[in-house]
Amino acid sequence: MTFRSLSAPKSGPVYLSVDLPIGSVEVISEPGRTVAEVTVTATGTSPALAEAVQDATLVWDSERDTLFLRVLDAASGSQTVIQTNGSVHVGRGTVVTQIGRVNGTLDFGGDDITINGVSVGGTTVIGGDAGDLRVTARVPELSSVVVKTRAADLDASGLYEGIKFESTSGHLRAGRTRHLIAETVSGSVRADVAEHANVRSTSGRVRVGRTADIRAKSVSGDIDVHAFHSAGTTGVASLTATSGDVTVTATGPGTVEAESVSGDVEVIAGPDCDVDALRVDARSRVGRVRTPAVFAATSRAFGGF
């Protein structure tokens, strides 16, 4: 196991910037913690992963109060096959260090490989002891986190000023944050509380617990907002999906704009929500539209653009 660590030379909230192609990122915002620290670890026995940790950029940027970590791809002879809904071809001689969920044919140099039915051939597949790249950070509350990955997940627990997440297939799980920006292709996005959120996903699911202002777009993933309340601001719940379902519960006043082309749309007024202080624009071309009774006539009119 190879690892490197760095602590911030000053106390208080910081910016944490992580660029990690594969693996996992865990950030813990701890009450009472004064100094941020970050560790990058290569588990297992893979020399390529150990070298990636040794060659990583791990520095403190004093001008921006930022702990900065960048890990480059492991040696070019390695490839990670991640979650996909299609077929994947890997060239001959490639060493695969990790295989995720593949719903289709995995073709190694012309030889078909069936994952669930076993039958492997055409290259060398390293098992679980090959290891992984893991980043673990402990930061003071109200720090900000920026993570860019290809296939690494981000788990950020605790309270943050802001979280920004960009990934192809990595998943985001966040606790409480004032600002959330997330963009994924097939990864899901989940946050317990995001006062202001801007989320884009192609096929991943978007779930936000409580928010005062959210803009979320998805192509085939569902969008769920469990508690929207503009809380005296100009916040709007603007939710758009192509084939995914859209569900939002309003717990207070605000504007809800919910739209899907072929998915269902449901707007729910919570038990303490004054519907007279709620503005709803809900529509779907093919799917069902459900809103509080006072908006029923308007919603039906919007059914079918």
Q: What is the pLDDT of residues 152-200, one digit of tens each?
A: 999 999 999 999 999 999 999 999 999 999 999 999 999 999 999 999 9
- pLDDT at residue 117 greater than cutoff 50: no
Residue 233 confidence (pLDDT) = 80
Q: Summarize the confidence of residues 9-22 as an average pLDDT.
A: 96
- pTM for this one? 0.81
Measured distance CA(153)–CA(45) in Å, rounded: 21
Residue 83 confidence (pLDDT) = 47
Interval 245-302: pLDDT, tens: 999 999 999 999 999 999 999 999 999 888 888 999 999 999 999 998 655 534 443 4
- pLDDT at residue 111 greater than cutoff 90: no
Spatial CA neighbour of 267 closest among 216, 211, 226: 226
Cβ 197 vs Cβ 214: under 8 Å: yes
- pLDDT at residue 216 greater than cutoff 60: yes
- Using CA atoms, how far residue 103 sits from 88, 100, 112, 115, 292, in Å, is 10, 10, 13, 9, 39
